[in-house]
Amino acid sequence: MEMNHEMHNSGAAEHVHDKHAGHHTGDFKKKFIISLFLTVPLVILSSTIQGIFGYQLNFPGTEYVQLLLATALYFYCGLPFLKGAIAEIRDRAVGMMTLISVAITVAYFYSAATVFGFPGMDFFWELGTLISIMLLGHWLEMRSIMGASKALEALAELLPKKATKLVDGQQVEVAMNDIHPNDLLLVRANEKIPTDGVITEGNTHIDESMLTGESRPVKRGIGERVIGGSINGSGTVTVQVSGVGSDSYLQTVIDIVQKAQSAKSRTQNLADRAAKWLTYISLATGLITLIAWLALGQDLAFAIMMMVGVMVIACPHALGLAIPLVASNSISRVAANGVLIRNRTAFENSGKISAVVFDKTGTLTIGNFTVVNVQSFSDKYSNEQIIQYAVALEQFSEHPIATAIVAYGKQQAISLLPVTNFAALTAKGVQGTIDSYTVALLSPQAATAAGLKLPAGSATTARTTILLIVEQQLAGQIELADEIRPESKAAVTELQKQGIKVYMATGDNDTVAKSVSDELGLDGYFAELQPQQKLDVVHQLMQCGEYVAMVGDGVNDAPALAEASVGVAIGSGTEVANEAADIILINNNPQDVAKMIQWGKLTKRKMMQNLAWATVYNVVAIPIAAGILYPFILPPAVGAAIMSLSTIIVAINAQLLLRQIK
């Protein structure tokens, strides 16, 4: 497999119409309630229903009351379907909205014509029940899915609302709009960097992990660049602005995400694909029915009545519930198991995944520095004493490494030793007096520069190593790393057992990436990537024929999450990643990716079963409604009974899914 990015071994997207665009869950709920209220009297006043239950309820103007109720139903409650049909036809993506619109339009106008004297029987009650059930289905569908993506807004939220600008040596708080290139900004400890720039005064460590994927806080000093949205460490710095607006790093990421989201192919879901063909069948069969009966010598009124019957029956109530009921049950059950579905189509298609690309920092790893090894080099000191000395010195420092060591000491219930003569050694480490001994914590480079000979293998390059020096003698070392999640190995193994290739794409350096890849047994990895390059990796895998899931948690993952066939975000990650993804893992467990794929397969299988049941109704009812058994004509009451039975069957089958997802 050839790619622009080196992999280390151990086409134009189709636009598809969103049928729910412009609507809210509450819209469908409100219209469903109103539709139900209007349909009940239509059903009671229907001559067909009266004949079935053996009662009579007629009064002068009955038909006009029915027409009035049906008119409100069609033009108000049916409006979402009519608008959706127009959009589907405009986008050349005929689906469920078009099928429903054809059925209700034919039923309404034909029935209205019968009120004013056109020969035939009305379909008012069928119109009401069809609109009500379809509104219920779409309400269930929308309720089960989270709101539309807000990835771009979430990206913008990474920047602070205000910044401290230096004007003639004075500190002035200004809005972001008042920042211009070459302005000087004061960034205090633990504040967000307002925008891209270059440090002109001070030095610090900056956490860029959410933006670049680099797990270690990066040391930055005078003359070095900083990225807007990253988090300043313990030092106060002055930054000269170099990039604002469209020239900033964060805006570049926003542009990439926007481009990926607009181009990403959203395959029509199963119900829409079935509805597309039923629409064509409805129109074709209706036209053929009209022509055939006219050719056989029947009058126009009879031929039109038969045509209308076919086109109304072609839109079965069961189809409106077959998929939404399964989706609602599935999405609510997997949510209870820690998986939130934002894009139902992506979840339905998750069974097709052939390659999973994991981010490293915060996804396969925990995302924070952790002490992973303590080693004594002298019989004089135990491992516990090594960490005890280290904690005693680091308690005075705010450096991220110091924070990790102190946190580890608390976990191990290490007692604090008194320290005197504490001193921070710039760019080298820390030093102090403990138990009358001069004790220092130095980087391997600083220890070598001080003339100390390091034991072989003492500074593992895939980890951050700190050396403990007592009275100028090497006493031991502490190794820190971004610890691999305990579940990551099992997650990789489970996916590979399913025949799925597992890769890692990270902004971290090659040495760290290789170490993680080797430990987890990945099929390959990509290191030192920028956000655009992560997106390129996903895109190139897809061009090679893979159905790709991207799993990540950071801002730098957002473009790739938006581009992938299925984007999966770790719930503890950034809001940007969550909003760009199709699916969110609440429990931050990579093993849930394998479970998600299995649940997606179960859900799609159940949907196919329900579509089959819904289709049976059409296969039987449409030819009979067209008059293939003439002189026997399918009575509306029989058609209603078949329709109801089909709806009950798919509803029961949808409930069975709840037992399968555990």
Q: Looking at this protein, which amino acid is placed at residue 49? A: I
Query: Of 183, 196, 207, 359, which residue is the catalytic one?
Result: 359
SS3 143: helix
Contact between 219 and 268 under an 8 Å Cβ cutoff? The reply is no
Separation between Cα atoms, residue 468 and residue 430, nearest integer Å: 10
- Per DSSP bridges, beta strands 196-201 and 237-243 are antiparallel
Cβ(596)–Cβ(494) below 8 Å: no
Letter string b/e over residues 158-182, b meaning 16 or more CB atoms within 10 A of that residue's CB: bbbeebbbbeeeeeeeeebeebeee
> Facing residues of 524 across strands?
503
Are 433 and 439 in contact by the 8 Å Cβ rule? The answer is: yes
Total count of residues recorded for the chain = 662
Q: Is 582 a catalytic residue?
A: no
**3-state class of 429 per DSSP?**
strand
Which residues on neighbouring strands pair with residue 432, listed in sequence order? 439
Using DSSP bridges, classify how beta strands 464-470 and 437-442 pair: parallel, antiparallel or unpaired: antiparallel
Rounded Cα distance, 421 and 427, in Å = 18
CB 313 within 8 A of CB 329: no
* C-alpha torsion angle, residues 622, 624, 630, 633 (rounded to 10): -100
Query: What does the block give as tokens for 252?
Result: 């570049």
Give the residue carrying structure tokens 């555990």.
662
Q: Please tell me the distance from the alpha carbon of residue 389 to that of residue 152, in angstroms, as a whole number.
A: 47
Residue type, 185: L
Catalytic residues: 359
